[in-house]
Amino acid sequence: MPDIERVVHAAAARYEHDATQLLQILIAVQDELGYLSPPALTAIATTLNIPRSRVQGVAGFYSFLYTEPVGRYRILFADNITDRMLGAPLLLDELCRKLWLERGKLSEDGLVSIDTTSCTGLCDQGPALLVNGRVVTRVDHRRINRIAELVRRQVPVEDWPAEFFHIDDNICRRDALLGTPFKPGSALIAAMRLGRNDWLQEMHKSKLRGRGGAGFTTAVKWTGCRDAPGQQKVIVCNAYEGEPGTFKDRVLLNSFADHVFEGMTLASWATGAQLGLVYLRGEYRYLWPALHEVLERRRAAGLLGKAILGTPGFDFDIQFHLGAGSYVCGEETALLESLEGKRGTPRIRPPFPVVRGYLGRPTVVNNVETLAKTCLIALQGGSAFAATGTRQSTGTKLLSVSGDCAAPGIYEYPFGVSIAKVLDDCGASDTQAVQVGGASGMMMATYEFHRSIACEDVPSAGAFMVFDSSRDPFEIAHNFVDFFVHESCGFCTPCRLGTTLLKGYMDKIARGYGAKVDLADIDWVNRLLKNASHCGLGTTAPNPVVDTLVKFRPAYERRMQSLDFEPAFDLDAELETARRLTGRADPAAYLNGNNEARP
C-alpha cells in the first residue's frame, strides 16, 4: 500500500473511523506525512466516507495544519507584544539570516521555514518559539546560534538540548487554590457525601463565576445542563488558552491537573454527565503525556471510570482533543464545532450549549481555572468560598503577569485586588499602561490603577501585561490588531472585513501615511465590529484601538502625515515597475509629493 494510504488508514483506525474525530485524524496524518497534500485529503475523505470538500474545509481552517509542503523544521516565533518587547523580531531576522532564508518561505532544500505564530502562553519566559510544535523558551542570541547550528546539522528535534524546552511555573503568589495542599479525590468524596442536589446547592452558594473572561455563573450553567432534556450529557474543559498574555491554565494543567480533572468529575456529579472532554490548545501539546499519566492514576484510584469511588451509576471518564492553532476555538460554541471535527465557526446562540452542545447533547463548557476552583468549594463549602473576593466576584483569580516587571509569573489574588497592588507586587516601575484581560481586554492608564480586578470593575480572563513608559501604545494596539486579523474565523462580514480594514489603517499609520480622516474611518470600523459581529472575537477585536485612541491619542496623532487625507501607499513607488521597464529617469518619470503641477 502506498505510504499515504497506510498512514491514513492507521490514523482513521486509531479514531475508529469516526468523522467527528476529523481534526484529530488530520493532526495524526500530518504528524506522519509532514503536511496534508491533496491526495492525503482525498484519502482521508475516502477512508472516513465523508465528502472531500469537508476535509479540505477543515484542513484549511487551522493554522497548524499545512496543505502546502513545509520544512522538516518548522520554526514559529511567538508574536505576542510581550515577545516582541523581549526582542523576538530581531531574533527572528537573525535566524533567517543565519539560515539564508526569507521569513514565511520554505528554504529551497525543503529543510526549514521560519514564521510567526500567535501568543504561545509563555509570556513570562519569552521570547518563545515553536519548533515542529514544541515550545522553546527564553530565546536569545545564544539560543538562536545553537538553533541555526542544530538545523544545519539536521539534528532531530527530540535530540535538541533539554534545557531549550524547559518551562517554569513561575508561581509568585499563592492563595486559596495554589497555596492549599490537595489530596486527589478528597473534594469528590466531600461532594458525594452531600449528594448530587446538595452539592449543586453548594455551587450556587459559592456564586462561582467563569474564569474564562465572560464571568457567567457556573452553577447556573450546571443546573441548566442537569435540567436539559437528553441523557448523554457532556462536560467540556476549555483548555484553549489562546488569549494573548494568558498562561495560568498552562500552569494549572502542569502542576494542578488533579484539581482540573476532579473539577470535571464534580461537574459530572452535579449534572449526570458521563463524558468529559478536554480541548487542549496545540501549543500545550507537550503537556499531553503527563496529563495522560494523571488520568491513568485517577482511573486506577477509582476517581474516573465506571462506578466512581464504588458508587453504582456514577460513571464518568475524560478524553483529550487537541487543537491546531485557532484562537476562536476558545469561544465555547466554536470549540464545540472543533470538537465535532469541523471548522471552528461559532454557532448561533440560542440554543446555548447547556441545551444543545457537543453533538447536540446538553453540554457544560468550563474554563480550566473554573473547574479547579470547584474543588475548593467542595472542600470548604459554598459559603466559605463566597466569603472571599468581592460580593459579585467570589474567590480568587489567577493572574498571568508579564511585560515590564521584575517578576513575571502567576499571581493568585482574591478578586477585588487593585491594579496598583499587582504592579507593586510584581516589581513594576514607571508603568504607563496595563493591558488587563489580553488583546480583547482593557488597556488601563495610570489614572485607573486604583481600579480592581473583578467582574464588576475590570474583568479579566487572567492576562496582565505591563508596559512601562518606554513602550509605544500605538505599537501595542497594532500588535493586537494583527492578532485579530490572523485569528478571525471569517464567518461574518463585520469581523472578516472589519479586522482586515482596521489592520489596513494601522499599517498605513505605522508606515507614515496616516491622515486625520483615518481616525474617523477607524472609529467607524470599530463601531461595526462591536455592534454587528457574530461572536465575542469580533465584538472585542476593536478594544485595543478604542482604548488607546481614548487614552493615548497622541501616540496616533504624532504619526500623522496629513491633517486631511493621505493615500495608503507610496504613489511614486507604484511607478517603479514602469520606470524600470522603460529605463526612464526624466523628471516626468517621478511623482514629487510637493510638486503638484506637472512642469
Partner 1 sequence: MSAPEKTRVATASLAGCFGCHMSLLDIDEHLFELVEKVEFDRSPLTDIKHCGACEIGLIEGGVCNAENIHVLREFRQHCKILVAVGACAINGGLPAQRNYFKLDDCLRQVYQYRIGMTDAGIPDDPELPLLLERVHPIHEIVRVDYFLPGCPPSGEAIWSFLSDLLAGRTPRLPYSLMHFD
Partner 2 sequence: MNREFMLDGLPVAFTEGQTILQAARAAGRYIPSLCWHPDFPPHGSCKLCIVKANGRHVSACALPAREGMEVESDTPEINGERRALLQMLFVEGNHFCPSCEKSGNCQLQAQAYELEMTSARFDYLFPVRPVDASHPDILLDFNRCIFCELCVRASRDVDGKHIFALTERGIHKHLVVNAESGRLSDTDFAADDLAAHICPVGVILHKRVGFQRPIGQRDYDHEPISQVAMEESS
Least distance from partner 2 to the Cβ atom of residue 406, Å? 38
- Among 291, 331, 336, 316, residue whose Cα is nearest residue 210: 331
Please, what is the minimum distance in Å from the beta carbon of residue 509 to partner 2?
Answer: 14
Among partner 1, partner 2, none, what does residue 494 contact (CB within 5–8 Å per kind)? partner 2
DSSP 8-state code for residue 352: P
d(CA 568, CA 307) in angstroms, rounded, equals 65
Distance CA 61, CA 275 (A): 27
Q: Which is nearer to partner 2, 66 or 385 (CB)?
A: 66
- Minimum distance from CB of 285 to partner 2 (Å)? 21
Quick one: what does residue 104 bind among partner 1, partner 2, none, with the CB cut-off 5 to 8 Å set by partner type? none
Q: How far is the CB of 517 from partner 1 (least distance, A)?
A: 7
Q: Which is nearer to partner 1, 456 or 572 (CB)?
A: 572
Whose Cβ is closer to partner 2: residue 247's or residue 483's?
A: 483
Sign of the alpha-carbon dihedral angle for 491, 495, 497, 500: negative
Closer residue to partner 1, CB minimum distance, 131 or 506: 506
Distance separating alpha carbons of residues 460 and 123, to the nearest angstrom: 17
CB atoms under 10 Å from CB of 193, counted, come to 10
**Least Å from the CB of residue 488 to partner 2:** 4
Q: Which does 564 bind (CB under 5 to 8 A by kind): partner 1, partner 2, none?
A: partner 1
C-alpha cell at 404: 515590564
- For residue 534, the partner it binds in partner 2, partner 1, none, with Cβ less than 5 to 8 A by kind, is partner 2
d(CA 182, CA 378) in angstroms, rounded, equals 12
> What is the enclosing helix (H) or strand (E) of 130?
strand 129-131
Report how far Cα 591 is from the mean position of its chain's Cα atoms: 45
Distances (CA, A) of 451 to 46, 51, 248, 433, 436: 57, 53, 22, 13, 11
Nearer to partner 2 (CB atom), residue 58 or residue 235: 58
Residues that bind partner 1 (CB under 8 A): 517, 564-565, 567-568, 571, 574-579, 581-584, 586, 588-589, 591, 596-598
395 or 544, CB closer to partner 2? 544
- The partner in contact with residue 586, picked from partner 1, partner 2, none with C-beta cut-offs of 5 to 8 angstroms by kind, is partner 1
In our burial notation (b when 16+ CB lie closer than 10 A, e otherwise), range 369-405 reads bbbbbbbbbbbbbbeebbebbbeebbbbbbbbbbbbb
* Residue 581 contacts which entry, partner 1, partner 2, none (Cβ below 5-8 A, type-dependent): partner 1
**R_g of the chain computed on alpha carbons:** 25
Going across the sheet that includes 129-131, the strands are 112-117, 73-78, 129-131, 134-136
Nearest distance from C-beta of residue 104 to partner 1, angstroms? 19
Distance of closest approach, residue 216 Cβ to partner 2, in angstroms? 17
**145 versus 562: smaller Cβ distance to partner 1:** 562
Q: How far is the CB of 9 from partner 2 (least distance, A)?
A: 18
Residue that is written with C-alpha cell 516601575 in the block:
429
Residues that bind partner 2 (CB under 8 A): 38-39, 41-42, 51-54, 56-57, 59-61, 326, 343, 348, 350, 485-494, 496-501, 504, 521, 524, 527-528, 531-534, 568
Grid look-up 483615518 returns 518
591 binds, among partner 2, partner 1, none (CB under 5 to 8 A by kind): partner 1
Task: Tell me which of partner 2, partner 1, none is bound by residue 51, counting a contact when its beta carbon lies within the kind-specific cut-off of 5 to 8 angstroms.
Answer: partner 2
Q: What's the sign of the alpha-carbon dihedral 566, 569, 573, 574?
A: negative
CA distance 223 to 9: 42
Q: How far is the CB of 489 from partner 2 (least distance, A)?
A: 5
Residue 206 vs 345, nearer CB to partner 2: 345
Instruction: State the binding partner of 421 from partner 1, partner 2, none, CB within 5 to 8 A by kind.
Output: none
